Chain A
């Protein structure tokens, strides 16, 4: 599903690849560079997420992206559900408790008598808190650009998983003569090649992965892959359940079709048609 392109984008991509590739793209420095085509563990009808990768991806989201981007459709409890990062119940509760959530007191007040927002530790049922209280505040802090909610971002962009990975690893110096507007950054995968998001993953080891067996080095590329995996899961948390059921349903339907076919041939044997 992550690698799925809408038919329209397939056409656009075809037009880009065949139509403009040799001439227009070279001329027009603003044409969007198509996403890199990656191999993901969740591709294909039997694809699954890599639990360790989702756990690392959550860490990248929490330590880097969450300072600008909300994910308001995801709850802490999702982190320990089957088909996801599958943190243990205790780990998930500890993660939730480590986050402060705005709350109301008995009288329904949201602030104490000094005007400070009342807060409590998070619980499994809480959704991920948003870094800004509203869109205006988010824009004010981000050069008037709005960091979109990332809950369904991989479904909200064509070829979403590949796109997010390509965007995160697509920062570079602008080509000569490119006029970059102040406060924007050059990224060939973004429309018009200028994005208001500063390169979020800029140095290796920006996030310190636990020295678990099997955890790779936290290179920029690895962090980008891991957070892409996490965002893909967050957009489609029932993907594994869906594909597993799909395999069973297709097998059932093939058997049913075979049975009906035999019945129909048997019945029609003596009818000229």
Chain B
């Protein structure tokens, strides 16, 4: 548990005065600076910090972009180009923002799968995990809305395809879709409301992030061993230990980010989005941004639109059931010989789904590195979708009951000491 022996002592008369009226310095001191953090966290635990940083990058660059951007169907495309050409460092802002969205999603996926691997979703962190899913859903919505704003071909047709999902809802689908559009098709009204919502949602995200961190600070961080903190000997204060360690990883992350901004700014985008939106010309191949590709493959794996949409949404919502589907006594996959392998299989399945999501939607055989595989794309995506759901709904509960986990160390401090002395890890008494 996260109860340290630290407490805040105001150092001068003014701080004492303030502390008895608005204990904000105490809050920061106790919940950030001195926050007792397990001492065995590895690099996978820095993505929370990276995500907070990236949210700030998106909000700051976005606010300045919004000062120059024109949300109108006849001017949006040119206004983005004008930002790139005529606004001082506008190219930097725009490439920060467009590549920032991708980096944000890279970080959130690593963050989520870190949680999956180390069992961070398990009791007592269920609410923390659920809030994380809410943040992810809001990010998906924000990224989609933002991608429509430059009003290129992919913006327009992506928005058309995605909003059309709602028309799959029986009876009221058509009305809901037109209500979202504010019109009878994606047009200027749609662009303007998407801009308004794209501006709004990141601040909603920031709000949920506060709840997320609050929910983190009750049980404290999970850690690679997945065992509870037993006392102060298991932790270090967040500052300066993790500010420097996370700072180092953030700097490495920024090097990758900077590579994309400065040397390959359009690599993660799609050339068609530099063609202005044209409702008369449908692009040969409408693909969403890379971060939606696995979901897109799940959507297309069934011919029925309604079922496809339901599957796609369930693919995320199923994560919300995970704390109750996982029956294992042990959190970390480090001590789960079978689940550990199933975890990596799941990752491969998701990558394959992502690959299929980028392919043209026909049922030709899959061509993979030159070899034509004897399996149709449709069948393969159906099998993978089936496995994806089976992993959570069937495999996870059964393996949790049936697998014998390896012995778990008694405490973090004993485990790290043993590792240092090269001895056997002391095991908790059963």
Contact = CB atoms under 8 A, between A and B. Distances in A.
A135 to B, nearest CB: 10
A108 to B, nearest CB: 21
B241 interface: yes
A237 to B, nearest CB: 6
Q: Residue among A20, A253, A256, A267 with the most chain B CB within 10 A?
A: A253
A249 B254 CA distance: 10
Interface string B238-257: 00110011011001101100
Contact of B263 (A151, A156, A246, A272): A246
A246 B248 contact: no
Interface stretch (B163-171, B178-186, B385-393, B413-421): B413-421
B82 to A, nearest CB: 8
B287 interface: yes
B272 interface: yes
B370 A73 contact: no
A254 B287 CA distance: 35
Contacts of A1: 263-266
Interface string B71-83: 0000000100110
B315 to A, nearest CB: 22
Contact of A253 (B40, B255, B269, B372): B255
Contact of A254 (B91, B244, B255, B268): B255
Contacts of B64: none
A9 to B, nearest CB: 8
Nearest to A153: B274
Contacts of B261: 246
Interface in A1-38: 1, 4-9, 11, 14-15, 17-20
Nearest to B355: A11
Given A238-B84, A263-B244, A268-B241, A156 B267 contact: no
Interface string A239-273: 00111011101100110110011011001100111
B251 A260 contact: yes
Nearest to B275: A156
A199 B252 CA distance: 49
A237 B87 CA distance: 12
Given A156-B272, A271-B236, A4 B252 contact: no
Interface residues of B, number: 52
A151 B290 contact: no
Contacts of A264: 244-245, 247-248
B267 A249 contact: no
A210 to B, nearest CB: 28
A23 B403 CA distance: 49
A260 B247 contact: yes
Interface residues of A, number: 50
B259 interface: yes
A155 interface: yes
B92 interface: yes
A265 to B, nearest CB: 9
A11 B244 CA distance: 39
B416 A272 contact: yes
B258 interface: yes
Interface in B346-384: 355, 358-359, 367, 369-372
B262 A271 contact: no
Contact of A8 (B95, B274, B287, B371): B287
A19 B367 contact: yes
Interface string A142-164: 00000010011001111010000
B251 A272 contact: no
Output the residue of B95, B244, B372 with the most chain A CB within 10 A: B244
B85 interface: yes
A216 interface: no
Interface in A194-213: none
A45 interface: yes
B251 A256 contact: yes
Contacts of B275: 148, 156
B254 A7 contact: no
Contacts of A11: 355, 358-359
A152 B81 contact: yes
B262 A243 contact: yes
Nearest to A254: B255
Interface in B258-301: 258-259, 261-272, 274-275, 284, 287, 290
Contacts of B254: 253
B239 to A, nearest CB: 10
6 contacts: A6-B268, A73-B81, A156-B272, A238-B91, A257-B252, A268-B241
Given A7-B268, A148-B275, A151-B81, 12 more contacts: A6-B269, A9-B271, A73-B78, A73-B81, A73-B85, A158-B271, A250-B262, A257-B255, A263-B244, A271-B236, A272-B39, A273-B236
10 nearest A-B pairs in the assembled complex, by CB-CB distance: A246-B262, A18-B370, A19-B367, A257-B251, A156-B274, A260-B248, A264-B244, A155-B274, A273-B39, A238-B91
